[in-house]
Structure 1
Amino acid sequence: MKRIGYLAAVSCIISVLLSACSFGPDPKAVVSKYLDNYYHGNYDKAYELLSTRDKAVKSQQEFSDEFNAVAGFAKALAGKITFVVKDVKVTGDRSLATVDITAPDFSSAMGEVMGLAMKSAFGGGKPDDKEIEKIISEKMKDKNLPTITRTEQYDLVKDKDGWRIYMGWENEKKIKALKAEAEKLENQKKFVDAKAKYAEVQGLSSRDEAAPKKIKELDEKIAKYKEKQAYFPNIEVKGVNISKGYFGDVGVFGEVKNKGDKSLKSVEITTYCLDKDGKVVFEKPYHPVLISEYSFSMRDNGPLKPNYSRQFGCKLNDAPSDWSGKVRVEVTDLEFE
């Protein structure tokens, strides 16, 4: 019995070891090796550590060519960037590595580099790699050159050859489409829906730097917009009618009245054009109240004070052919004085 137990234990240990070997180095080691090659300019070796799904989207040559386009800059920085893998979270066949990356702060040199790039662009050529490398190398001689540290995250997946970096290139088109939808929703003041789109982007790529920034920005807009929305019922839109202006242009006309207790320096209304079934087929924002130093208009550009009214007229010549001639006009934004 003891011998059977011993053999079972040995078998279990061998099984665990074989399982570990089958997936090669752990995620932390793979991320470290990838970044070490990447920041030393060994792009071919870095490419080897990418997932099969990423390699199916972008070839090794395409991957290397992206860096060859800025060869002078990359060569000057080779070996000058350090990193620390702070944390690795493993969930089944996926893991997420958080990395602190420290690099020289070349903000003072960027003016020279951009000047060189502009000069080359107007000359019909591309920036001289050796000249860029020379500028960066000169800056590197400064012992007091400051550094800047940023935190990045890397996704990894268990591939056929073990843990591999997952860049998510297969999702690039979807991410681009989601961002376009988010931008449209943001312009429509649908900030909550726009935030949801950026959350989807984060789910597809933890390395997208724009998504978390936009989510934070939208959180602020959501809070601010709620305060504005609370005042919307105080803006009465009345006398709405469709008619022609002085020059025969079809438009929507009416009046807005401030029935609240705050002065407003901006009021935005949106006219929704409806089809025969009452569905929106077109929309157009307009500011009957707008205080701006750039406003050149004969209409009153002063604030809309409490109990004051302001007439408005907005052209609708660009409404589509399926517009029935009916509209719905709503207050969609405002700014307090």
Structure 2
Amino acid sequence: MRPGGRNLFLLVASALLLILPPAYLLVAERRSAASGPVEILVDYLKAAYARDFRQAYRLISSEDRRLKDEKTYVRERGTFDGFTLEVGNKLAGWIQATPIEEKTIGERAHIKLKLKLPDANKLSGPLLDWDEERLNALSTKEQRALLQKLDQWSMEGRIPVIEGEQDFDLVKESGGWRLFLNWAAGIRLSFEARVNDALPLEVSWDQREFISRQDELFNVRLRIKNLSNREVFMKSLHRVEPKDMTEYLDLVECGLLLPTKLLPREEQEYSSTYLVRGDLPDGTKQIAVTYEFTNVP
């Protein structure tokens, strides 16, 4: 697996094709501007679950999109492609969601869904630990066999599921209903690196500043280059400021948790996945994270 591979089981997105009461039965087709908020919500969740974040971005409100362009949004989350995306869509076909609350006032809508979806984490074993490179490298015969196995498990009721409820807000624009994520009220996070003088390293960030909502995953990528003609053995510590915010920023996945070795002149890319916890104290606006690199004797 690539460092910090994009694991589907890390998703917090809820659904792709939702199985709803008759009034809400939907097909996977392009929505018109006249589509209602539930239909647009389904399309957004479908794209998000499948990690098709380019499509998901198009269904986000213009107010949010002014704060974050498509390239940034996609880069923060990582997008599945190829057969891995097909597997995600396969699982999504078995998701169930029922609207348990729907309030529409003028150009604003609030929808609460009861969700039941495949637990992709528990399926990670037969799905090659969601290693995108390995999944996409399977032969056509192997891919077909894997999809057939999932179909069989579904018919036998062997697909593990997780259940929960989630609220969503939407706004009506000229192009139709769009998800309102309220990024303006999000937490601003910044990242920097400090390298011990004894280490001949060059550290560069793919992106250093983020705006994230609570309970929303985002990815941080950095490249580290050994500038010397000798092997380097290093480790990194993550410092969070203010310090009392450390417990509210979860490090979900990190390619630098263990000491790392770089060969002479070698350059490697690493990825970390973070989540700002939902119980973050009110009024928190900014968190700074520093990666401190030190030599391992």
Normalised to the residue count of structure 1, the TM-score between the two structures is 0.37
Structure whose residues are more often strand by fraction: 2
> Which structure would you say has the larger RCO, counting Cα contacts within 8 Å and 6 or more residues apart?
2
Structure whose residues are more often helix by fraction: 1
Q: Which has the larger radius of gyration?
A: 1
Normalised to the residue count of structure 2, the TM-score between the two structures is 0.41
